[in-house]
């Protein structure tokens, strides 16, 4: 199986965009950043003299095996920067396929055979070396890997969730910290950055585990590689004048509750999970409309509709929830359904079933019981009941607001809401929708919107599943609303609790 086209294009674009960075190390080795946009996650493929190291692999490992085969190289090591909370790693499957050891940093405890490295330990790879830098703070076992070339010169830092571009890893995600608070971990992170990372040469290239959109940090850059020197100039957390107390305050302020599925992903990464082939075999079971309904009635499966928001709004199976495949699909499923043991049934665009099951498995949702054969059209042809979401365009919404003070609920994040919002709107962020259910009127019609329509349709589907139907979704969201000239608030400075 080849890397997805989007990934191959991204690698090429990244190398071209940062050509000067890559040329400095290309003489002795090759680095490929394999970026998965829907997770904002970066895995790394490093090859030197026919030997390969993989850092933070995704669950589907065939692309790494194919890449090594193309290079006529052998995968020698599988490095993990920490126990990931936002995705399920492929370390066990990759180790089984290659015989390569799984390497974690100090303090890691696994339920499978692994190599727990010591701080400063060096791993030869062809004619380069990867050195372990234990950097606790994001988690206790968090570790960076420093690449040194054939002359011993420090060239690249694979920084995991310790150092992002523009930010650092949040210190409140670690599990089983022995009573340590997030402020204790933030203090550790301060020391790790100052003693292990900031003394490195400014020319070192930083390769983080995540980019913008990840919930593992607060304000990550859209860039995916940078020099350490530039980060020292631009990253607030690397200010040389910053005292530890300031760092702790700035790193911990504004942290929202982590997604509920995060601890379950950590558990899977520590203990192991089914190979993705088993997950795909179970999930790619085509069900007729009759059988689909029978399975839904006989189990506690949630019907997950992954079509476009427009198609879902026009018609869907009653009780189905919508999370569109074209958006931040898996993270939103994780945030809103939360329990990775929850059985699912899929309504998907024809041909997209396997992609959906793969992406669900990346965040630990392994129990897909099948999909609707023939898609939603097959459901309609079978004469089954259909529901829909009532929507209104922004122009009609403006006319309505002029006539009365209708209740409006904005499901964007707090930060987006504070930047600008409809004057009378309430903020009910999608990520915390369950906490706002009592805020919605019981009988009066209310209006939902987000930035562009994707999140408001997700919210609409989850509200309907909970028996709340007295709403109208505003098509096109804030983008369309602004074009009508509806009066909006001025920017408000966020408080410590905002995100």
pLDDT tens digits, one per residue of 337-395: 999 999 999 999 999 999 999 999 999 999 999 999 999 999 999 999 999 999 999 99
pLDDT score recorded for residue 208: 98
Unique residue bearing structure tokens 């890893």 = 169
Under 8 Å between Cβ of 448 and 456? yes
Nearest C-alpha neighbor of 430 from the set 415, 410, 447, 446: 410
Domain annotation for the chain: domains and CATH numbers: 5-265 (3.60.15.10), 274-381 (3.40.250.10), 391-484 (3.40.250.10)
Question: In the predicted model, what is the mean pLDDT of residues 67-94?
Answer: 97
pLDDT score recorded for residue 255: 84
Question: In the predicted model, what is the mean pLDDT of residues 467-481?
Answer: 97
pLDDT tens digits, one per residue of 155-184: 999 999 999 999 999 999 886 666 799 999
Unique residue bearing structure tokens 């007729």 = 288
Q: In the predicted model, is pLDDT for residue 498 greater than 60?
A: no
pLDDT bracket for residue 188 (50, 70, 90): very high
pLDDT score recorded for residue 496: 41
pLDDT score recorded for residue 16: 36
pLDDT score recorded for residue 20: 43
Unique residue bearing structure tokens 């966020």 = 494
Mapped onto helix, strand or coil, the DSSP state of residue 62 is helix
Pairing mode, strands 226-227 and 205-208 = antiparallel
pLDDT tens digits, one per residue of 13-60: 333 344 444 434 445 689 999 999 989 999 999 999 999 999 999 999
Rounded to whole angstroms, how far apart are CA atoms 13 and 397?
42
Q: In the predicted model, is pLDDT for residue 217 greater than 90?
A: no
Q: In the predicted model, is pLDDT for residue 417 greater than 70?
A: yes
For residue 71 the two structure tokens come to: 């290079």
Nearest C-alpha neighbor of 164 from the set 226, 103, 108, 120: 226
For residue 299 the two structure tokens come to: 């189990």
pLDDT score recorded for residue 215: 85
DSSP type of residue 491: P
Q: Is 376 exposed, middle or buried (0-12, 13-18, 19+ CB in 10 A)?
A: buried
Query: Which residues share a beta bridge with 231?
Result: none
Q: What percent of the chain has pLDDT over 90?
A: 84
Q: What separation in angstroms does the CA of 463 have from each of 288, 323, 417, 467?
A: 27, 13, 20, 6
Burial letters 244-278, b for 16+ CB under 10 A, else e: eeebbebbbebbbebbbbbebbbbbbbeebbbbee
**Element at 79 (helix H, strand E):** strand 74-79
For residue 141 the two structure tokens come to: 């076992």
Q: In the predicted model, is pLDDT for residue 493 greater than 70?
A: no
pLDDT tens digits, one per residue of 115-134: 999 999 999 999 999 999 99
- Phi, psi for 288 (deg, rounded to 5): -65, 165
pLDDT score recorded for residue 175: 67
Q: In the predicted model, is pLDDT for residue 434 greater than 80?
A: yes
Q: What separation in angstroms does the CA of 385 have from each of 229, 381, 470?
A: 60, 10, 20
Q: How many CB atoms lie within 10 A of CB 476?
A: 22
pLDDT score recorded for residue 220: 87
pLDDT score recorded for residue 256: 81
* Residues whose CB is less than 8 angstroms from the CB of residue 294 and which lie 6 or more positions away in sequence, other chains included: none
pLDDT score recorded for residue 102: 98
Rounded to whole angstroms, how far apart are CA atoms 335 and 144?
28
pLDDT score recorded for residue 491: 63
Rounded to whole angstroms, how far apart are CA atoms 428 and 437?
9
pLDDT score recorded for residue 327: 86
Under 8 Å between Cβ of 189 and 169? yes
Q: In the predicted model, is pLDDT for residue 462 greater than 60?
A: yes
pLDDT tens digits, one per residue of 190-214: 999 999 999 999 999 999 999 988 8
């Amino acid at each position: 199986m080849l890397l997805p086209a989007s990934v191959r294009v991204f690698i090429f674009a990244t190398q071209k965009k940062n050509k000067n960075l890559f040329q400095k190390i290309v003489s002795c080795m090759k680095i490929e950043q394999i970026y998965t946009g829907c997770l904002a996650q970066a895995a790394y493929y490093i090859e030197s003299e026919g030997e390969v190291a993989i850092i933070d692999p995704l669950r589907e490992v065939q692309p790494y095996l194919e890449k090594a085969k193309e290079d006529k190289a052998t995968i020698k090591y599988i490095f993990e920067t920490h126990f990931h909370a936002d995705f399920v790693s492929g370390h066990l499957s990759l180790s089984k396929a290659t015989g390569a050891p799984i390497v974690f940093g100090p303090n890691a405890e696994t339920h499978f055979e692994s190599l727990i490295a010591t701080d400063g330990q060096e791993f030869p790879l062809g004619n380069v070396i990867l050195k372990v830098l234990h950097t606790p703070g994001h988690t206790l076992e968090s570790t960076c890997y420093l690449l040194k070339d054939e002359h011993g010169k420090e060239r690249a830092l694979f920084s995991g969730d310790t150092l992002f571009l523009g930010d650092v890893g949040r210190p409140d995600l670690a599990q089983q910290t022995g009573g340590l608070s997030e402020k204790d971990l933030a203090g550790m992170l301060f020391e790790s950055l100052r003693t292990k990372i900031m003394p490195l040469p400014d020319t070192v290239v930083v390769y983080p585990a995540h980019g913008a959109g990840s919930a593992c940090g607060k304000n990550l850059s859209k860039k995916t590689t940078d020099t350490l020197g530039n980060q020292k100039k631009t990253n607030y957390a690397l200010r040389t004048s910053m005292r530890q107390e300031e760092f702790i305050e700035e790193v911990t302020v504004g942290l929202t509750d982590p997604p509920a599925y995060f601890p379950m992903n950590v558990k899977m990464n520590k203990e192991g999970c089914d190979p993705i082939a088993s997950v795909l075999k179970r999930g790619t079971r085509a069900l007729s409309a009759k059988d689909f309904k029978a399975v839904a009635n006989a189990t506690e499966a949630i019907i997950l509709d992954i079509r476009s928001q427009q198609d879902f709004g026009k018609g869907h199976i009653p009780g189905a929830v919508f999370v569109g495949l074209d958006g931040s699909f898996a993270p939103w499923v994780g945030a809103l359904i939360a329990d990775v043991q929850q059985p699912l049934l899929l309504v998907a665009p024809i041909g997209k079933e396997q992609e959906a099951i793969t992406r669900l498995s990346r965040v630990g949702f392994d129990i897909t019981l099948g999909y609707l054969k023939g898609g939603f059209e097959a459901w309609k042809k079978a004469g089954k009941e259909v529901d829909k979401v009532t929507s209104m365009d922004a122009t009609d919404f403006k006319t309505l607001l002029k006539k009365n003070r209708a209740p409006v609920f904005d499901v964007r994040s707090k930060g987006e809401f504070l930047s600008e919002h409809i004057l009378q709107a309430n903020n009910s962020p999608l990520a915390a929708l369950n906490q706002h259910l009592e805020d919605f009127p019981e009988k009066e019609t209310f209006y939902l919107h987000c930035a562009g329509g994707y999140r408001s349709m997700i919210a609409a589907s989850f509200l309907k599943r909970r028996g709340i139907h007295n709403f109208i979704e505003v098509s096109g969201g804030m983008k369309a609303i602004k074009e009508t000239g509806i009066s909006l608030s001025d920017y408000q400075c966020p408080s410590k609790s905002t995100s």
